[in-house]
Amino acid sequence: MDAVIAPSILSADFARLGEEVDAVLRGGADWVHFDVMDNHYVPNLTIGPLVCEALRKAGVTAPIDVHLMVSPVDPIVVDFAKVGATYISFHPEASQHPHRTVQLIRSLGCRPGLVFNPATPLDWLDHLIDDLDLVLIMSVNPGFGGQKFIPQALAKLAAARARIEASGRPVRLEIDGGVKVDNAAQIARAGADAFVAGSAIFGSGDYAATIAAMRAQIDVGRRSAG
């Protein structure tokens, strides 16, 4: 699968969100990463389905990669499916019945993803991987942009990659948190094929140049992984 770059709009200028999303997509981004926080499951509060709907109404056609950091999960899944989410990922600890949540996301025509916090074991995949389209490894604790990449995420990516290969299914492996141009090659080498980056992209002066530089580093990493 080709690598995809998904700027996290958590680090965008919310007063000009539509322009910001257009700018990163024009600059070569593949997906829009949409962080949903509820001040309950995580200690921060962000954006919900209305904002997703507004982006779709403004003409955004790129995949919207919704990352739910909320509890309960299921009611908001229904709301996001209605307003054009593409991927919907959630944290298994936040759902009473993770398999039911996966089924719900799929039944609404969206692509289910499961998110692993730094301390969350990959064991959740034992009985869920056959129903997933995406595995998201957190390389920071969820809640805020601009945190430092936790290096243990690299070994976890490699372990998740092995599980995906063993499943034989086309499951995306995404990394989220502290992703920069400088570490993109080693992250790609560890097996990621979807790269969320918030502050690295929106905090840079030239979105297109940063996305191009990140993609070049990803290519370097993928080539060296063979």
Sheet containing 134-138: give its strands across: 4-7, 194-197, 172-176, 134-138, 111-116, 87-90, 64-69, 32-37
Minimum CB distance to Zn ion, residue 9 (Å): 10
Q: Please tell me the distance from the alpha carbon of residue 151 to that of residue 122, in angstroms, as a whole number.
A: 16
Contact call for residue 143 and ligand DX5 (CB under 6 A): yes
Residue 74 annotated in active site: no
Active-site residue, selected from the candidate residues 35, 38, 65, 133: 35
If one asks whether residue 20 binds ligand DX5 (CB under 6 A), the answer comes out as: no
Which of the choices ligand DX5, Zn ion, none does residue 94 contact, using the CB cut-off of 5 to 8 A by kind? none
The site map against ligand DX5 for 24-53 (x = CB under 6 A) is: ---------x-x------------------
Single-letter residue type at 64:
I
For ligand DX5, the binding residue among 83, 94, 125, 140 (CB under 6 A) is 140
Residue 161 contact partner, candidates ligand DX5, Zn ion, none, CB within 5 to 8 A by sort of partner: none
Kindly give the interhelix angle for 49-57 and 17-26, rounded to the nearest 10 degrees: 60
Angle between helices 49-57 and 74-82 (to 10 degrees): 10
Name which of 117 and 167 has its Cβ closer to Zn ion.
117
Q: In 10 A of CB 19, how many CB atoms?
A: 11
Helix residue ranges per DSSP H, 42-120: 49-57, 74-82, 98-107
Active site residue 35: yes
DSSP state of 198: S
45-104 residues in contact with ligand DX5 (CB under 6 A) are 67
Interaction site with ligand DX5 (CB under 6 A): 8, 10-11, 33, 35, 67, 140, 142-143, 145-147, 176-179, 196-200
Cite the active site residues.
35, 176
